[in-house]
Structure 1
Amino acid sequence: MDGSQGEFGFESPIDPSAVRRFLADNPEFLKGDDGLLAELGLTVATSNVVEFAPMARVHAAHQREAEQRQLLEETARANFAAQAQTHGAVVDLLDARNNSDLARRVDELARTRFGLVAGVIALECENLPPAGWRPLVEGQVNLLLDGPRRMSRMGVVRTAFGLFDEAVGPIASVAMVRMAIWEPSRQGLLAFGSADPEGFTPDMGSELIALLARVVERTAERWPLP
């Protein structure tokens, strides 16, 4: 007596090779039993393919994690590069020799360090501002920033496109940060222009540009206006 009680009813341990041979000879046995497939976590993808659903889900989850990790790494590298460029820009601004040179350096770092169209310093004043600065009328800073309480504004602000000389090329988006320079303080703006409509968007953080604005304020205070 061999101990067998049927095709798979063994009193002795089941021989895996026998099970393998049976499934190979009778493929419809597994594919036709939905309950058994469900218990094993398998699905029939086509008439000839049995899909390991849990393994497929794990693979998809790992792929999503890898994509998210890659996105985070790319964002971190971009942030690190932006911070490094900003720190270099701070050193450039601190080396300015006068207010005119300060404006030139702002425009130069915008183009060479950040790949933008232009950078400008604008000032509300009754008389002409320092050479290279853009003149503004009283209250214009609040209008451009859309309110007296706003410290910065980023995005497609068409009223701000006039801050930039037409000769530099088309402006599609801007970043602006409020400044208060000298005593008594005069309202001004540090503004950067991009040729890309998505170059600056309202949801972007303005911390790095605000840092540059503070540096411009402190540097310009070396040469107060009469």
Structure 2
Amino acid sequence: MTEDSRIVRTPNPPAAAGTPSAKRSVTAADVEQYLRRHPDFLVKHANLAEVLAPPTRDNGDGVVDLQYFLVHRLRGELSGLKEQQQNLIGTIRANTANQARVYEAVLAMLNATSFEHFIEIVTSDLAIILDVDAVALCVETNGFLDAGDRMAGVRILANGRIDGLLGDGRDVMLGEVMLGDADIFGGAATLVQSQAMSRLRFSPKAPHGLLVFGSRREDTFHPGLGTELLMFLSRALESCVRRWLDLPAD
């Protein structure tokens, strides 16, 4: 082989200082070095605390190693945040479903073809639409009707009874009941374990009314539940009654 025909081999360029070889596995020392250069790594990647095994060291002299407790506390906080997130998602989904039901209920009332049909929708159809066990539409006597009378599906209450149920000046009440009120729910009273009540102000020229929903579940209606949708439905119902009976709003 002549000198001109020899293969000239170019040596590989040296690896950059501090850069591990491409073929070399990452070692514990590499990880330690990286973490020392990035002390906030676990702060930015807090989810790793769920899989890391915290060390337990005896430092002697009665010194407690707080690292173990800090990591476990972080794990607990992450678990709590995840639970809060799931609860929030569940609440949002439930509120969205309830909102859709209330909108459907309002549309059903607006589509009534007569006042009698409207009363039937309120006292019968709303229970199905809103997924409750009982619905009652009540009106006080105001001196013109006898308590206990029935008028087209409307339950008649004694004058002043609504203030007695809600409290003077209150318009909404939600909560658990030992037994439903037979004057309100009739035969369905024995099923009712929780209820939502909303005062109805039809007109200055008409007695107050009461819209009541009953559920056989104790936790369906409770004082901590939002009342915005119930109030919206009540205002829509009042407007429909004024339209059908030609009552003034003011």
**TM more than 0.5:** yes
Number of the residue aligned with 2:162: 141
Answer whether contact 2:155 2:183 (CA < 8 A) is retained.
no
CA distance 1:167–1:83, shift in 2 (3 Å): closer
CA distance 1:133–1:67, shift in 2 (3 Å): same
Deviates more, 1:68-77 or 1:91-100: 91-100
Answer whether contact 1:160 1:174 (CA < 8 A) is retained.
no
* Matched letter for residue 114 of structure 2: N
Answer whether contact 1:175 1:193 (CA < 8 A) is retained.
yes
1:73 maps to which of 73, 86, 89: 89
Percent identity over the alignment?
Answer: 28
1:61 maps to which of 56, 67, 77: 77
Consecutive unaligned residues in structure 1, runs of 5 or more: 1-15, 17-29, 43-51
Answer whether contact 1:120 1:134 (CA < 8 A) is retained.
yes
Is 1:191 matched up with 2:217?
no
| Mapping of residues 1-226 of structure 1, within 5 Å | 31-34=57-60, 38=64, 41-42=66-67, 52-125=68-141, 126-127=144-145, 130-145=151-166, 147-157=167-177, 160-166=181-187, 170-224=191-245
- Hey, which of these two has a bigger chunk of strand by percent? 1
When the two structures are superposed, what TM-score results if normalisation uses the length of structure 1?
Answer: 0.71
Q: Deviations over 1:57-81 (max 9, x none)?
A: 2222211111111111111111111
Deviant stretches of 4+, over 4 Å: 35-39
Answer whether contact 1:144 1:159 (CA < 8 A) is retained.
no
User: Is the partner of 2:85 in helix, strand or coil?
Assistant: helix
Answer whether contact 2:180 2:189 (CA < 8 A) is retained.
no
* Matched letter for residue 217 of structure 2: D
Question: What is the count of residue pairs matched by the alignment?
Answer: 188
CA distance in 2, matches of 1:104, 1:173: 23
Deviates more, 1:86-95 or 1:153-162: 153-162
User: Is the partner of 1:116 in helix, strand or coil?
Assistant: coil
Deviation, 1:111, is 2.5
* Matched letter for residue 154 of structure 1: L
* Matched letter for residue 173 of structure 2: R
When the two structures are superposed, what TM-score results if normalisation uses the length of structure 2?
Answer: 0.65
* Matched letter for residue 119 of structure 2: A
Answer whether contact 1:100 1:133 (CA < 8 A) is retained.
no
CA distance in 1, matches of 2:78, 2:92: 21
CA distance 1:165–1:129, shift in 2 (3 Å): closer
